[in-house]
Amino acid sequence: MTTSDRSRGPRGRGIPDATVARLPVYLRALSTLADDGVTTVSSEELATAAGVNSAKLRKDLSYLGSYGTRGVGYDVDYLVYQISRELGLTQDWPVVIVGLGHLGHALANYGGFASRGFAIRALVDADPDLVGTEIAGTTVSPLADLEEQVRQHAVAIGVIATPAAVAQDIADRLVAAGVSSILNFAPIVLSVPSQVEVRKVDMSIELQILAFHEQRKLAPGGRVASELARDLAEAIGR
């Protein structure tokens, strides 16, 4: 992971990476509750909605401060605000999407971004047929204008939805233009300076992890034939 450590601030405060990764999940569950008119929620209820256990939820929230009331629970709106503030979602983050194939299209049209403080300010693609067209209200710029678009809109977060072959080049250009966070959908390991944060979304990897567990389910005792064979080989001294 390319994430910073937690030794920040006085008294060693700082939020663990595992906690940061769960805050958006809590935020979504809280938003749903708020939409349903719920004003107060217990750690038990919120944990269930978020798919974690309540001890973990309370520990996670304790890193942000003491925002609950003993015997009562948490005020939904107040907690939404505190988590949003901690995640930096009370300000707008200008985003550029590079690559507008089906995936880029899906990202550009995804409503979940705008509602969370992410503003898609620029779309960039290499295909002349796409340049000039409008996607979700934004005109597609040519690849040559990448740096200009980043600077003009003060883009901090770049999304790479290009083929793998050009992803590293795009990353280099994004970083050179001033982008310091990258969300990478291309199936390659990007090389970037250490101060640049990269997160990867890789559907193929997720499927392979599922296949591993799926395979385990097939054999009796959760063990596959190949594994039994290896044990046997070892038992007889290889």
Partner DNA sequence: TAGATTGTTAATCGATTAACAATC
> Which residues of the chain form contacts with DNA (CB under 7 A)?
5-6, 16-19, 42-44, 52-56, 58-59, 61-62, 66-74
Nearer to DNA, 76 or 97 (CB): 76
- Judged by beta carbon distances under 5 to 8 A according to partner kind, the member of DNA, a copy of itself, none in contact with residue 85 is a copy of itself
Nearer to DNA, 61 or 96 (CB): 61
Q: How many C-beta atoms surround the C-beta of residue 4 within 10 A?
A: 13
Q: Which of residues 175-204 bind a copy of itself (CB under 8 A)?
A: 180-183, 187-189, 195, 197, 199, 201-204
- The span from the CA of 122 to the CA of 127, in Å, is 15
Q: Which stretch binds a copy of itself (CB under 8 A): 54-62, 82-90, 145-153, 167-175?
A: 82-90
Give the nearest distance from C-beta 60 to DNA in angstroms: 7
Helix crossing, 17-35 with 76-87: angle to 10°? 140
Nearer to DNA, 73 or 94 (CB): 73
CA within 13 Å, CB half, 82: 17
Give the nearest distance from C-beta 41 to a copy of itself in angstroms: 15
The vertex-81 CA angle with 75 and 82, nearest 5°, equals: 85
Helix crossing, 43-50 with 54-62: angle to 10°? 100
Answer yes or no whether residue 154 interacts with a copy of itself by CB under 8 A: no
Alpha-carbon Rg for the chain, nearest whole angstrom, is 22
What is the rounded (10 degree) CA torsion for 130, 199, 204, 227? 170
3-state secondary structure (DSSP) of residue 189: coil
- Judged by beta carbon distances under 5 to 8 A according to partner kind, the member of a copy of itself, DNA, none in contact with residue 203 is a copy of itself
Number of residues that bind a copy of itself (CB under 8 A): 76
Q: Which stretch binds a copy of itself (CB under 8 A): 7-15, 70-78, 137-145, 169-177?
A: 7-15
